[in-house]
Structure 1
Amino acid sequence: MTDNIILEVKNLVVSTVNENKNNKILDNISFTLKKGERLGVIGDSGTGKSVLMLSLTGLLPKNNFEITGEILYKGKTDLLKFDRKNMRKFTSEKINMILQDSMNILNPYRKICDQITETLIFKEKISKKEAYKKSVKILEDLNISAAEKRIKDYPYQFSGGMKQRIGIALSLLGKADILIADEPTTSLDAINQEKILDKINRHIKENNISLLYISHDMRVISKMSDRIIVMEKGKIIKEKLAVDL
């Protein structure tokens, strides 16, 4: 395996476990993700895209699912060898995630400033004063007016679109090697969707991060990918370069 491959998935099979039958959700999934590469995963709803993300990050309940295969980080560490707790600890340091409803990561009972500064202190190991200044800058970069005042507000005082953008910005913090984005802009209008997509692209380019972008939208996938895998009924049926679309 070449040195620049940061993630390799080999023969991944995920099945539901119950008394009556064993139903495969992911069937023999294999792919690689290189350092700094943008890999798109496209398919209709129900093809297993989100289950793939949960499998890679240790969020799939192992008591409800049987998982076999290998998920290799930098060719050495097989994430499936960890128990769920240690896998989550490992992936939380190495993999950032942007979910479909990123606004839901915000605690409705805590001010925005507290949530952003604590995340910065934990992930970037900076002082509280520096974290606060950076928090204000984050809101400014999101085009939220009067950022220094608004940062002291609670989530309910922001619109749904604003909360989604703040949640996405929180998901980009830290020094992870990989970013997995699962339909992160579906609840945003066209203008804010483009702004967030551009922000994600800048972030991964500036930090040389690998991106796994999951979507059902071919236009978005084309914008966010160098290489694309197409999923259907839990299988990869096609792989191509984005420029060939």
Structure 2
Amino acid sequence: MIDRCRLVPAAALMFLVPVGLVACQGGAPAALPTTGTPSALPSLPRGLPTSYRSDLPAGDVPVGDLVPMGNVVTGTWYARTSAGDAIVVAWQRRGADPFRTERGIAVWLHGADPGSPWRPIDAVGFRANRDPVLGLTAVIGDVTGDASDDALVFAETGGSGGCGIYFAIDLAEGARVFDRSVCDTSIVPSTDPVGLVVTEAVYAHGDPHCCPSAMRRSVLTYAGGDRWTTSSRTTTPA
């Protein structure tokens, strides 16, 4: 697993909100798992450029040109895929209320053809008035087992349970292959076997939100399409 991340300086992000400032209603147990389906390129978020006409190396591309005009870059991650170099870039609207602001994340890919432009192959926007999130982060690593970098993205929705949405993107294909809304759960790439490690709180009837009865650790491996197989699962008393 490789986490090739370039974050903007803290001073530029002082309006971002830490995890947990907005309480989850009712202290609900971890959300039931859902899986996503690989998808064709959706409509791009409003204002996102449709290409960057330069064959500059990934590290030399001005990432501010890869987000909607007037927005600020909040994170950049670099990947190497079987289809070419990729840049994953997150942004938010400049100067907006950090509790309710538009955010987004996009995957830009540069193919092997000399002179070909950078193009967005997948992008997700989170509108402030519909599905606001408090922050977007990503980890780069192979989670599908094809020896090509993927991106595991976390869209933080807040709450005492660290609620949010995890989704994995096959960067070479521009396909979202995993999608799960969670609370009291963390998901990270697994290296042996290649896949995802899901660690979640297990609540028995009557458990307070602070104190789950157990922790469950599941290792998922990619089975193609929208399918994930549970390779192993262990539950440990808390």
Structure number with the bigger relative contact order (C-alpha 8 A, sep ≥ 6) is: 1
Between Structure 1 and Structure 2, which shows a larger proportion of helix residues?
Answer: 1
TM over 0.5: no
TM-score by length of 1: 0.28
Between Structure 1 and Structure 2, which shows a larger proportion of strand residues?
Answer: 2
